[in-house]
Amino acid sequence: MVDSYKPNWAPENPDNAFACDVLKGVQGGQEGMPPCTAMVRKAAPAVKRHSLTAEEYVEGVLRGDRMILSRAITLIESNSSKHMILAQEVLQKLLPYTGKSIRVGITGVPGAGKSTFIEALGCRLCKKGHKVAVLAVDPSSSITKGSILGDKTRMENLSREKSAFIRPSPSGGTLGGVTRKSRETLLLCEAAGYDLILVETVGVGQSEITVRSMVDFFLLVVLTGAGDELQGMKKGVMEIADAIMVNKADGDNKKKAQMVRVDYERIIHYLRPATEGWQTKACTCSASSGEGIDEIWQVIDDFRQKTKESGTFSKRRKVQTLEWVYAMVEEHLRNVFYQNPNVKANRLSIENAVGMDKLSATMAAQKLIMEFNKGQKLI
């Protein structure tokens, strides 16, 4: 008979109605098996990833190797000074192979169906022989500073396409999520042979206009019931859109979407065109059913042909590159200012004086600038 005992939480003087017993442990082997001995497992030796040279990065990207392209983007996104030097060397060598794509920025309020539309458009174009790269900006938490980066999971069908590349990136708290690194990532994708770059930005509403400075065509995705005509005219983001797409135009919502499209066409009539020589279009689409996808692509293709013929296409890109240069200069000067030892030493006391109403904002700014100028060599 197997030895057993009542557990310590059993009632006193239990009768046959209490049927819970605990079996005693077995010493040594059991059922003819030898006794088990503790096994000390050694951890597998860590395999160090091979560090690529600038030439290996360049060759891999030009070859269309998505693994090396991903590593090159990671290199670009790194804040390490060592990585930044290598990243700029790689970018400089790839620069002659860039600029051959159409860059499309896609924005809209959260829930407008941007990711669903991108997947539908991307799959359609991949089947037509295009190479599509998606740079999806994911919002970063203002508290934890982390991002989910789940766009690859949401674009399940597109991620299976061999001619597609999806790269989610954290917004890092920047407006629209577009930063210097987003621009350089775009150039890497162009060098890898992708002829359509789709930049999905964080939907932050009326103030998201940063993406305009890095794309050729700007698409605003809207929904029905977003407000009356006057509210639509107040939205600054509409003034920079090359096309406005009313999404989810299917089922019972299709008729309403058509009415909203007519309203937007009326609004567009009173707005200055976002691109010289191009009239902003309004259209409807159902990303889930695919209806209207081909029409949207036709609008984008017409835009490219018309602006290239007029010279607006190349002119805008030159202006964007110069804006990029000066934006990086401003970023560098800002970092130099706040990393200055005198500014760092006096910043807290000046902030406290402002908080206690002992110092005006203008005087505080002048004091910080004076601290920065101490020790600076005058040219």
* Distance of alpha carbon 31 from alpha carbon 159, whole angstroms: 52
Residue with tokens 């590593």: 71
pLDDT in tens, 278-333: 999 999 999 888 899 999 999 999 999 999 999 999 999 999 989 888 888 888 89
- Max avg pLDDT among 8-22, 79-93, 216-230: 79-93
What does each C-alpha distance from 195 to 102, 121, 205 come to in angstroms? 6, 14, 29
Residues in the chain: 379
Which SS3 state, helix, strand or coil, does residue 314 take? helix
pLDDT value of residue 38? 56
**pLDDT of res. 268:** 87
Q: What residue type is 349 in one-letter code?
A: S
Distance (Å, whole) CA 115 – CA 128: 20
pLDDT bin (cut points 50, 70, 90) of residue 270 is: confident
**Is residue 286 within a helix (H) or strand (E), and if so which, with residue range?**
none
Please, are residues 112 and 221 in contact by the beta-carbon 8 Å criterion?
yes
Does residue 378 have a pLDDT over 80?
Answer: no
Q: Compute how many other C-beta atoms are within 10 angstroms of the C-beta atom of residue 346.
A: 17
Q: What percent of the chain has pLDDT over 90?
A: 42
Question: What's residue 39's pLDDT?
Answer: 59
> pLDDT category, 79, cuts 50, 70, 90?
confident
Looking at residue 33, what is its pLDDT?
65
Distance CA 131, CA 191 (A): 12
Residue linked to tokens 């090359």: 242
Higher pLDDT pick, 210 / 188? 188
Segment 258-282 mean pLDDT: 89
Query: How does DSSP assign 73-97, residue by residue?
Result: HHHHH---HHHHHHHHHHHHHHGGG
pLDDT, tens digit, for every residue of 7-42? 777 777 767 667 777 777 666 666 666 666 655 666
Q: Which contiguous run of DSSP H or E holds residue 250? A: none
pLDDT at 180: 62
End-to-end CA distance of the chain: 98
Structure tokens at 325: 């240069």
Residue 368 CA to residue 334 CA, distance in Å, equals 13
Nearest to 154 by CA among 113, 187, 208: 113
Token pair 């920065």 in the structure block, residue: 372
Helix (H, G, I), strand (E, B) or coil at 345: helix
Q: Is residue 132 within 8 Å of 126, Cβ to Cβ?
A: yes
Place of tokens 């309203």: 263
Q: What is the set of domains in the chain, with CATH numbers?
A: 98-309 (3.40.50.300), 324-373 (no CATH)
Contact (Cβ atoms closer than 8 angstroms) between residue 73 and residue 182? no
Cα–Cα nearest to 372, from 336, 330, 348: 336
Nearest to 96 by CA among 123, 58, 124: 58
Taking residues 171-197, what's their average pLDDT?
76
The yes-or-no verdict on residue 102 having pLDDT over 70 is yes
* Beta partners for residue 155, in sequence order: none
Q: Is the pTM of this model over 0.85?
A: no
Q: Give the lowest-confidence range in 24-33, 69-78, 217-226, 249-258.
A: 24-33
What is the model's pLDDT at position 80?
80
Residue 206 pLDDT more than 60? no
Token representation of residue 331 = 């970023």
Cα atoms in the 13 Å half-sphere on the side-chain side of 345: 7
Q: Where are the alpha helices (DSSP H) in the chain?
A: 54-63, 66-77, 81-94, 114-127, 151-154, 156-159, 180-191, 229-234, 254-268, 293-310, 312-338, 341-355, 361-373
Residue 138 has pLDDT above 60, yes or no: yes
Query: What pLDDT, on the 0 to 100 scale, is given for residue 235?
Result: 58
